[in-house]
Amino acid sequence: MAAVLDATLSGASSNSYVTLAEAEAYFETTPHDEHWTGSNDAKNRLLITATRYLDVFSYYGERCEPTQALKWPRKDYTVDGVELTCASIPDQIKTATFELAHALLHDGNILTHSSGKTGVYEEVKLGELEVKYNPKTQTSGLVNNILDIFPWLESFIGAYSSSGAANYTVRLRRG
């Protein structure tokens, strides 16, 4: 059965932050456009999956409609002097969706498979305290945070989120 992509803004059954046409237009402007290949069905599945992974984050502001299926669009939050509105999804969220879909195209199991290696830490230093986690030690289905695997997503969603999966978010308040 073909995947049906629904990018209706604030829709009750929406499953993607972007349309396939938007993705095609985006990849026409990137250096890796020749790698965005496959059937429309396969691309729809990648965009839906990327949206699902991005939808686990805790985002600032409020959903526009209590019945919307996805966390975007949002309102009542300002980024770089621009107020979020219910009329659109920010370009950075859309770009995160495109780029995550592209990454999943090349390794669809990266967020759920295990390499079988042992040891959670790749490197630990004491002077100038540094810890590097070994991303290849995640047990099947137990990626703690998508940013552990794709840290570059932070550059797209960081201004909009508390940068952690919903069940791992910790806010620090001082004073």
The pLDDT tens digits for 17-63 are 999 999 999 999 998 778 899 999 999 999 999 999 999 999 999 99
Q: pLDDT of 139-174, one tens digit each?
A: 444 445 678 788 889 999 999 998 654 444 445 556
Q: Which residues fall within 8 angstroms of residue 95, CB to CB, at 6 or more apart?
A: 26, 156
Alpha-carbon distance of 53 to 70, in angstroms, equals: 11
Is residue 159 one of the residues assigned to a domain?
A: yes
Predicted pLDDT of residue 121? 55
Is residue 35 one of the residues assigned to a domain?
A: yes
Higher per-residue confidence, 13 vs 142 = 13
> pLDDT category, 110, cuts 50, 70, 90?
confident
> pLDDT category, 81, cuts 50, 70, 90?
very high
Predicted pLDDT of residue 123? 64
Alpha-carbon distance of 68 to 13, in angstroms, equals: 7
Neighbouring C-alpha atoms within 13 Å toward the C-beta of 39: 5
Alpha-carbon distance of 63 to 75, in angstroms, equals: 6
Domain containing 33 equals 20-168
Predicted pLDDT of residue 141? 46
Q: Is the pLDDT assigned to residue 97 strictly greater than 80?
A: yes
Is residue 32 one of the residues assigned to a domain?
A: yes
Is residue 175 one of the residues assigned to a domain?
A: no
Torsion sign, CA atoms 102, 22, 160, 168: negative
Is residue 105 one of the residues assigned to a domain?
A: yes
Predicted pLDDT of residue 165? 44
Is residue 95 one of the residues assigned to a domain?
A: yes
Predicted pLDDT of residue 169? 44
Is residue 14 one of the residues assigned to a domain?
A: no
Alpha-carbon distance of 101 to 34, in angstroms, equals: 14
Q: CA dihedral in degrees (81, 84, 89, 93; nearest 10)?
A: 50
Predicted pLDDT of residue 129? 76
- Domain total in the chain: 1
Is residue 52 one of the residues assigned to a domain?
A: yes
Q: What is the mean pLDDT of the chain?
A: 83
Q: Count H helices, E strands: the chain?
A: 5, 8
Centre a 10 Å sphere on the Cβ of residue 67 and count the other Cβ atoms it contains.
10
> pTM, whole model, 2 decimals?
0.76
